[in-house]
């Protein structure tokens, strides 16, 4: 399942010694946010964005549901990263859209040739 992590928690029952405690598996759903970079196969232009559902968002770009990317379809996902919080995802997206962020993208994340 995308966006989920497993956490083990030790449960103590009353005065049961720690050696007799049981481990239980508790599924904790953590909302993940993705910062992604798409490359237009038509023009080579890069597009930066963030979303909670990466597969759905890439599909929307490639079916013309985004007015900003509609004219440069098709798009290829060339890089993404997952973040636990929306604030960190938005901040990183803003960074990679900045001048120094674009330099970082071109140098470290995406092959622009």
Distance CA 83, CA 63 (A): 26
Give domain limits for the chain.
33-109
Tokens 């481990």 belong to residue: 23
Q: Which CATH architecture has domain 33-109?
A: 3-Layer(aba) Sandwich (3.40)
Which residues pair with residue 33 across a beta bridge?
Answer: 83
Distances (CA, A) of 32 to 4, 50, 83, 88, 90: 8, 11, 6, 11, 12
| pLDDT for 62 | 98
Residues lower than pLDDT 70 in the chain: 1-28, 113
Please enumerate in sequence order all residues whose Cβ is within 8 A of that of 39, keeping only pairs 6 or more positions apart, or say none. 45, 46, 47, 75, 76, 78, 110
| pLDDT for 39 | 97
């Amino acid at each position: 399942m995308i966006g989920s992590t497993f956490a083990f928690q030790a449960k103590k029952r009353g005065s049961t010694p720690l050696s007799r405690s049981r481990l239980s598996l508790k599924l904790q759903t953590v909302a993940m946010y993705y910062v992604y970079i798409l490359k237009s196969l038509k023009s080579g232009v890069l597009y930066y964005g963030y979303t909670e559902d990466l597969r759905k968002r890439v599909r929307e770009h490639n079916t013309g549901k985004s007015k900003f990317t509609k004219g440069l379809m098709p798009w290829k996902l060339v890089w993404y990263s997952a973040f636990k919080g929306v604030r960190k995802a938005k901040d990183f997206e803003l960074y990679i859209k900045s001048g120094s962020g674009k330099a970082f993208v071109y140098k470290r994340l995406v092959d622009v040739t």
